[in-house]
Structure 1
Amino acid sequence: MDICNKTNSIAVIEFLNVFLFQLHRVMITKYKYILSILGLLLSMVVSAEESEGKRVMIAKDRFSVTVTHAGKKVDIKRNQDRSHQIDDAFRSTARGRIQPMHPFQPRQIETVGELEVLDYLEKRERGESVLLVDTRSAQAVKRGTIPGSINIHWKDFGKKKQLVRYFEDVLNVKRSSEGIWNYDISKTLVLFCNGPWCGQSSAAIKKLLRAGYPEHKIKYYRGGMQSWLSFGLTIVTPE
């Protein structure tokens, strides 16, 4: 009887040892899982706090660009509200037709992005002969445009009287007594419209090329207002 009791006791002890060992393993695994979740949550909180303390930059060392628009200084920068979303007017994904990156072949017209547009605006501020042209309708411009730009409707580039007036009064193109246009001191033009699905600025550029405007003085901002607003960059509305 004693032998049986002793055997049973040993079996119980072995069972308890195995049970406690397995329980220990389960608890360690469980605590590791809990600790990993807590660590992840903590890192998310720290990351959120760091994000709130950081400015939304244009580029690594570029927070804003100051330009002149309608005689007033305007700071172009990105919207600092991290929950900000693109304007409703540009949310649709089913409009227009996607424009080629280089729609003027074999002409060598440079296609530029936002940083290059800002570079050209800074050149203009320094007195260089540069002009940013919004080729959309006046009605579209009323909803907002890029600071430092002027509005010339894309169709006007195909109308002789309007084009002559813009050449002489705005674009700094000189005409000889024989009626020959001289582009030596004409302005470098950066043209844009609604976005990469809109063909207005590319149509304007083609009209300029047909009129003889030098291709090295024409830049195509394909992204237009769609891209500009998607980065939360500053816009202005006519007063």
Structure 2
Amino acid sequence: MKMFSTLTACACFLAAAVHAQDVAITPDMTRAEFAVNGQNILIERNQDADAVIEPGFAKTSRACPPFCIHPMSGGEGVETVGEIELIDFIDNYVEEGTGLLVDSRIPSWFEKGTIPSAINIPFTALEPTNQYRDEILQALGGVKSGDNWDYSAATDLLLSCNGPWCDQSPRAIQNLLSAGYPAEKIRYYRGGMQLWLLLGLTTAQNG
């Protein structure tokens, strides 16, 4: 009887474990785990089959302007990526310390929830009118000499905001390009938080 109970418990545990992975990221990836700046990062999908997207991201008809649908491209030479490529970027660049995942939204939005491992560089910080913009570009690896910039050691960046109707990361990208930042070092996640949440992927709270 004791053995039967043990076997039943094991079977239930295994069934629960299998069920817990019903919603994978891809057929070959149930979850993604990283270590970024000494912090363990886990990305997986919500296993609740009844989960729905947050109401704020379920709106279909925001006024345009300003909430207009943006092109697939974030700028000439800038690669547009999806969720799998973003996860690969964390794995190959962020975890290695050679790249940054940038949330371009204003801090109040960033604090409500962002993609794990993202840092907040608000799009306004990259405007030419920001007196501290040169310091930010230098922190990203740019070296200024007079009016010229050397970006040979610049950090690889992947920028996102709220989704295809959000202009914050496109504006940030355009300002980076206008400052001479190399397009090949910039990536654009057009789906943003709306698509990330729609797919039930893990978010990080910063508030």
Length-normalised TM-score, structure 1: 0.72
> Post-superposition shift, 1:52?
4.4
Letter of the 1:162 counterpart? Y
- Structure 2 vs 1, CA of residues 81 and 65 (structure 1 numbering), >3 Å: closer, same or farther? same
- Structure 2 vs 1, CA of residues 53 and 161 (structure 1 numbering), >3 Å: closer, same or farther? closer
Tell me, in whole angstroms, the C-alpha distance in 1 between the residues paired with 2:90 and 2:21: 26
Tell me, in whole angstroms, the C-alpha distance in 1 between the residues paired with 2:113 and 2:41: 14
Matched, 1:83 2:41: no
Tell me, in whole angstroms, the C-alpha distance in 2 between the residues paired with 1:62 and 1:125: 19
Tell me, in whole angstroms, the C-alpha distance in 2 between the residues paired with 1:68 and 1:134: 19
2:125 match: secondary structure? helix
- Structure 2 vs 1, CA of residues 89 and 71 (structure 1 numbering), >3 Å: closer, same or farther? farther
Matched, 1:231 2:199: yes
CA contact (8 A) 2:102 2:157 kept: yes
Residue by residue over 1:69-91, the C-alpha shift from the partner in whole angstroms, topping out at 9 and shown as x without a partner, is 67421211001111111112211
More helix by share: 1
Unaligned runs of 5+ in 1: 1-48
Tell me, in whole angstroms, the C-alpha distance in 2 between the residues paired with 1:60 and 1:88: 29
Unaligned runs of 5+ in 2: 1-15
**Larger C-alpha radius of gyration, 1 or 2?**
1
In the alignment, which of 71, 78, 84 is matched to residue 100 of structure 1? 71
Percent sequence identity over aligned pairs = 38
Tell me, in whole angstroms, the C-alpha distance in 2 between the residues paired with 1:236 and 1:230: 15
Residue by residue over 1:16-66, the C-alpha shift from the partner in whole angstroms, topping out at 9 and shown as x without a partner, is xxxxxxxxxxxxxxxxxxxxxxxxxxxxxxxxx9x9475211111111112
Higher relative contact order (CA 8 A, sep 6+): 2
Aligned to 1:213: 181
Aligned to 1:16: none
- Structure 2 vs 1, CA of residues 98 and 179 (structure 1 numbering), >3 Å: closer, same or farther? closer
Length-normalised TM-score, structure 2: 0.83
Equivalences for residues 124-203 of structure 1 within 5 A: 124-158=93-127, 159-169=129-139, 171-176=140-145, 178=146, 180-203=148-171
2:158 match: secondary structure? strand
Cα-Cα RMSD: 2.0
2:29 match: secondary structure? coil
1:60 match: secondary structure? coil
> Post-superposition shift, 1:185?
1.1
- Structure 2 vs 1, CA of residues 194 and 61 (structure 1 numbering), >3 Å: closer, same or farther? same
Residue by residue over 1:126-150, the C-alpha shift from the partner in whole angstroms, topping out at 9 and shown as x without a partner, is 4151111000010111110011111
Aligned to 2:9: none
Tell me, in whole angstroms, the C-alpha distance in 2 between the residues paired with 1:197 and 1:125: 26
Aligned to 2:83: 114
- Structure 2 vs 1, CA of residues 139 and 167 (structure 1 numbering), >3 Å: closer, same or farther? same
